[in-house]
C-alpha cells in the first residue's frame, strides 16, 4: 500500500486513521500554531470543538458526498450527416472503478466526505494512489493533511509525507506526480491552499476568529462553573498568616463556588467581608451577543451565508427557502464540486486520457425544486426538442418507453425546420385530390404572428416570475400588512414596465418584420406596434394592481390567515399559468392590429 506498508502492523487496517488523528507536538511547533488567550495553540482539532466550525465542515463534507462522481468519454463520429460529438459513461475503466471503491475500508461517499472535510478545514486534501504493475490505479488511501507538505523537486510538484517507521522514528516519504491526489482551496502560490488556522509563521486566516470563539466559550464555562458570580475579593480587618489564609480560602471556595453551592449562605469569620467587582447582567448579555456574532464571522471563512443550515434561525423567514437552497449549492458547494472534477481528472488520468475523458458530478438531484416545477420544466424541454421523452423520463427515474417510441425528439409544427424534399421530411404532404386555394398575404401574416406565441410566452415568463418573487418578498417584509404590502409593490410596479418592454420587444419586432416581408408595408406600422406594446404594459400593471388590491381587501375580512393563503395561491398561479394566458390573449390582439394596419381589407381579404 505504498507508504502505509512502512507502518506498524497494529497501526494498519481500520485503526490507521484514528492513530494518525492527533499531530505530534513537534509538528505543531513547526506549523507555528497561534495561541489562544489561554496560551493553548489554535489547531484544526481544537477548532472542531466549536459547534459552528464542526457544523460548517460537516455540512460541506456531507453535501459533497451525496452526488455521484462519474467518468465520461467524449466520442466523435463522422457520417453522411456530418460530425457528431457524444459522451459515454465509462463504468469499466480502472479510474472509474477506483472512484466507486477507493479502498477496502471506505466507500465512495465516505472517502469523498473525508477528503472534503480535510479540504474545508485544512484547505488541503491528500490521497496516495496505489497502482498495479500495469500502472492502473487500484486503491486510493487518504493521507492526513497535517503530515503532508508540498515541495518542488527538480521542477516537479511532490508531496512529502511524515510517517512513523516500525522503530518509532519519523521518516519522510516522497510521493511523485501520478502517485498522489492533492486538492487545495484558495492558494497564493498555486501549489497548496492557504491555511485557515495552523501553518506558516503567521498562522492561518481564521485563527483570530476561532481563538476568540474558544476564549468566549471558556469564559462562559468558568462563569457558570463559579455559580454565575462575577469576580470579587475578600477583605479582612487585619493580616493573616500563610497557614490560616490558605485554610480560609479553601473553606470559602468549598462553600461558595460551583453550581451546587449557588444561593448558599456562607458564614464569614475573623472579620472577613466580600466585595463584588462589577455587575453581571450587562456582561452576560454581551457574552451571548458575541457568541451569536461569532457564528456569522466563522461561517464567512467557509463561504456559508445560509446560516439556517447551521441551526441559526435568528434571521430566517423561509419565504425564499428554495432560492437559498439553490444559492448554497451554486455559491458554496459548486466550487468544491469543480475542484474535485478538475483535480481528480488532472492527477488520476493520464495525459492521453485527458484529451477525451473527464469527471463530472451529477448535481441535478441536489438542485431539484418541487415535483410540479420539475415536470413543467421537462415539459418545455420536450416541446422545444431539447430533450426526448426517454431522456426526460430518465431524469425523474422512470423507465423509457418500449419499442423506442420515446427516443426521437419532438418539435412543434409551427417552429420545426422542414426539409425541401426526400425522405425524413419534417412536414410530409398530406394526400389530397383537390388543390387548396393559396392563402392571402393577410392570412399568412396572421399565421406567422400566431407562430410567435411560444416566443412571447417564454419572454412573459421572465417578468411574471420576477413580479411574483417580488410580491413574496414584499409580503414578508411588510409583516403581512396589506397597506404596507401595497406601498412596497408600488415601487416594484414603477420598475417593472421597462423590464416588460425589454422582454417583449424582440417578439413584437419579429412580428413587424414578418408582416413587412409579406408585403404589408405601412408608414405607421412600427408606431402601431409601439402603441400596442405600451398598452400591453399598461394593462398588465393595472391588472396586477387591481387583482392584488381587491383580493387582499376581500380576504382580510375573513381572518388573518386568509390573505396569506389567497396571496400564496395567486402568486403560484402567476408563476405557472399567467405567462401562457398572457401569450394567448396578446398574440391575438397583436396579430389583429398589425394586419389591420398593414393590409387593405377590401383588396386582400379572402376570408
pLDDT per residue as tens digits for the range 71-106: 988 887 776 666 777 778 888 889 999 999 999 999
Q: What is the pLDDT of residue 127?
A: 95
14 band by pLDDT with thresholds 50, 70 and 90: very low
Sheet of 148-153, strand order: 148-153, 156-164, 170-175
Question: Which range, 262-266, 267-271, 272-276, is most confident?
Answer: 272-276
Give 292 or 70, the one with higher predicted confidence: 70
Q: What is the pLDDT of residue 182?
A: 96
Q: What is the pLDDT of residue 418?
A: 45
d(CA 600, CA 604): 6
Q: What is the pLDDT of residue 397?
A: 63
Q: What are phi and psi of 303, to 5 degrees?
A: 70, 25
Sheet of 82-89, strand order: 82-89, 69-79, 357-361
Q: What is the pLDDT of residues 173-203, one digit of tens each?
A: 899 999 999 999 999 888 999 888 875 444 5
Q: Which set of grid coordinates corresponds to residue 482?
A: 396589506
112 band by pLDDT with thresholds 50, 70 and 90: very high
CB contact at 8 A, 28 and 41: yes
d(CA 574, CA 580): 10
Averaged pLDDT for residues 322-345: 86
CB contact at 8 A, 343 and 187: no
β-strand 148-153 against 156-164: which pairing, if any? antiparallel
Percentages helix, strand, coil for the chain (3-state, rounded to 5) are: 55, 15, 35
Give 416 or 562, the one with higher predicted confidence: 562
Q: State yes or no: pLDDT of 315 exceeds 70.
A: no
Q: What is the pLDDT of residues 197-212, one digit of tens each?
A: 875 444 567 777 887 7
Give me the helices (H) in 145-206, please.
Answer: none
d(CA 471, CA 575): 11
List strand residue ranges (DSSP E) for 24-176, in order. 69-79, 82-89, 124-131, 137-143, 148-153, 156-164, 170-175
234 band by pLDDT with thresholds 50, 70 and 90: low
d(CA 161, CA 1): 14
Q: What is the pLDDT of residue 578?
A: 85
CB contact at 8 A, 556 and 563: yes
Other CB atoms within a 10 A radius of the CB of residue 224 amount to 12
Question: No. of H helices and E strands in the chain?
Answer: 20, 11
Q: State yes or no: pLDDT of 277 exceeds 80.
A: no
**Mean pLDDT score of the chain:** 75
Report the first-to-last Cα separation within the chain, whole angstroms. 85
d(CA 272, CA 248): 10
d(CA 450, CA 511): 9
Averaged pLDDT for residues 152-173: 83
> If you compute the radius of gyration of the chain from its CA atoms, what whole number of angstroms results?
35
Averaged pLDDT for residues 585-594: 83
Question: Which range, 394-398, 436-440, 597-601, is most confident?
Answer: 394-398
d(CA 184, CA 462): 39
Give 114 or 232, the one with higher predicted confidence: 114
Amino acid at each position: 500500500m505504498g507508504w502505509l506498508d512502512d507502518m506498524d502492523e497494529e497501526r494498519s487496517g481500520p485503526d490507521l486513521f484514528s492513530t494518525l488523528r492527533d499531530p505530534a507536538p513537534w509538528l505543531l511547533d513547526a506549523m507555528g500554531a497561534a495561541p489562544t488567550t489561554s496560551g493553548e495553540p489554535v489547531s484544526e482539532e481544537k477548532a472542531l470543538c466549536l459547534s459552528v466550525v464542526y457544523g460548517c465542515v460537516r455540512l460541506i463534507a456531507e453535501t459533497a458526498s451525496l452526488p455521484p462522481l462519474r467518468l465520461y468519454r467524449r466520442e466523435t463520429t463522422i457520417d453522411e450527416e456530418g460530425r457528431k460529438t457524444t459522451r459515454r459513461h465509462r463504468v469499466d475503466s480502472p479510474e472509474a472503478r477506483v472512484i466507486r471503491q477507493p479502498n477496502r475500508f471506505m466507500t465512495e461517499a465516505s472517502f469523498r466526505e473525508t477528503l472534503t472535510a480535510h479540504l474545508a478545514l485544512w484547505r488541503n486534501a491528500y490521497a496516495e494512489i496505489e497502482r498495479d504493475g500495469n500502472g492502473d490505479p487500484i486503491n486510493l488511501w487518504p493521507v492526513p493533511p497535517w503530515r503532508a507538505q508540498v515541495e518542488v523537486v527538480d521542477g516537479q510538484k511532490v508531496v512529502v509525507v511524515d510517517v512513523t517507521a516500525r522503530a518509532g522514528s519519523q521518516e519522510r516519504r516522497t510521493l511523485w506526480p501520478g502517485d498522489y491526489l492533492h486538492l487545495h482551496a484558495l492558494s497564493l502560490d498555486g501549489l497548496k491552499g492557504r491555511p485557515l488556522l495552523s501553518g506558516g509563521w503567521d498562522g492561518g486566516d481564521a485563527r483570530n476568529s476561532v481563538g476568540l470563539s474558544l476564549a468566549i466559550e471558556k469564559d462562559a464555562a468558568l462563569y457558570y462553573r463559579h455559580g454565575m458570580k462575577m469576580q470579587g475579593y475578600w477583605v479582612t480587618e487585619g493580616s493573616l498568616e500563610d497557614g490560616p489564609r490558605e485554610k480560609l480560602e479553601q473553606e470559602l471556595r468549598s462553600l461558595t463556588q460551583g453550581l451546587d453551592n449557588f444561593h448558599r449562605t456562607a458564614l464569614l469569620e475573623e472579620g472577613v467581608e466580600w466585595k463584588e467587582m462589577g455587575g453581571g447582567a450587562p456582561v452576560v448579555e454581551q457574552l451571548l451577543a458575541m457568541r451569536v456574532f461569532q457564528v456569522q464571522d466563522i461561517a464567512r471563512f467557509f463561504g456559508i451565508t445560509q446560516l439556517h443550515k447551521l441551526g441559526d434561525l435568528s434571521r430566517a423567514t423561509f419565504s425564499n427557502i428554495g432560492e437559498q437552497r439553490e444559492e448554497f449549492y451554486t455559491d458554496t458547494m459548486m466550487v468544491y464540486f469543480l475542484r474535485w472534477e478538475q483535480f481528480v481528472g488532472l492527477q488520476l488520468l493520464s495525459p492521453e486520457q485527458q484529451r477525451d475523458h473527464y469527471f463530472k458530478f451529477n448535481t441535478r438531484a441536489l438542485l431539484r425544486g418541487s415535483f410540479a416545477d420539475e415536470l413543467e420544466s421537462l415539459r418545455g424541454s420536450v416541446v422545444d426538442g431539447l430533450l426526448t421523452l426517454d431522456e426526460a423520463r430518465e431524469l425523474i427515474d422512470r423507465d423509457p418507453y418500449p419499442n423506442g417510441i420515446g427516443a426521437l425528439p419532438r418539435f412543434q409544427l409551427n417552429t420545426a425546420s422542414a426539409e425541401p424534399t426526400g425522405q425524413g421530411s419534417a412536414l410530409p404532404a398530406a394526400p389530397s385530390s383537390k388543390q387548396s386555394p393559396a392563402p392571402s398575404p393577410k392570412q399568412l401574416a396572421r399565421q406567422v404572428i400566431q407562430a410567435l406565441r411560444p416566443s412571447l410566452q417564454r419572454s412573459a415568463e421572465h417578468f411574471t416570475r420576477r413580479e411574483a418573487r417580488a410580491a413574496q418578498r414584499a409580503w414578508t417584509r411588510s409583516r403581512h400588512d396589506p397597506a404596507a404590502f401595497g406601498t412596497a409593490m408600488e415601487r416594484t410596479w414603477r420598475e417593472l414596465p421597462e423590464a416588460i418592454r425589454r422582454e417583449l420587444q424582440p417578439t413584437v419586432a419579429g412580428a413587424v418584420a414578418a408582416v413587412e416581408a409579406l408585403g404589408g408595408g405601412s408608414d405607421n406600422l412600427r408606431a402601431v406596434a409601439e402603441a400596442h406594446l405600451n398598452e400591453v404594459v399598461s394593462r398588465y400593471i393595472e391588472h396586477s394592481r387591481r387583482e392584488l388590491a381587491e383580493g387582499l381587501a376581500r380576504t382580510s375580512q375573513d381572518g388573518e390567515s386568509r390573505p396569506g393563503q389567497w396571496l400564496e395561491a395567486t402568486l403560484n398561479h402567476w408563476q405557472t399559468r399567467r405567462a401562457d394566458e398572457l401569450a394567448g390573449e396578446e398574440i391575438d390582439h397583436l396579430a389583429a392590429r398589425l394586419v389591420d394596419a398593414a393590409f387593405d381589407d377590401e383588396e386582400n381579404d379572402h376570408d
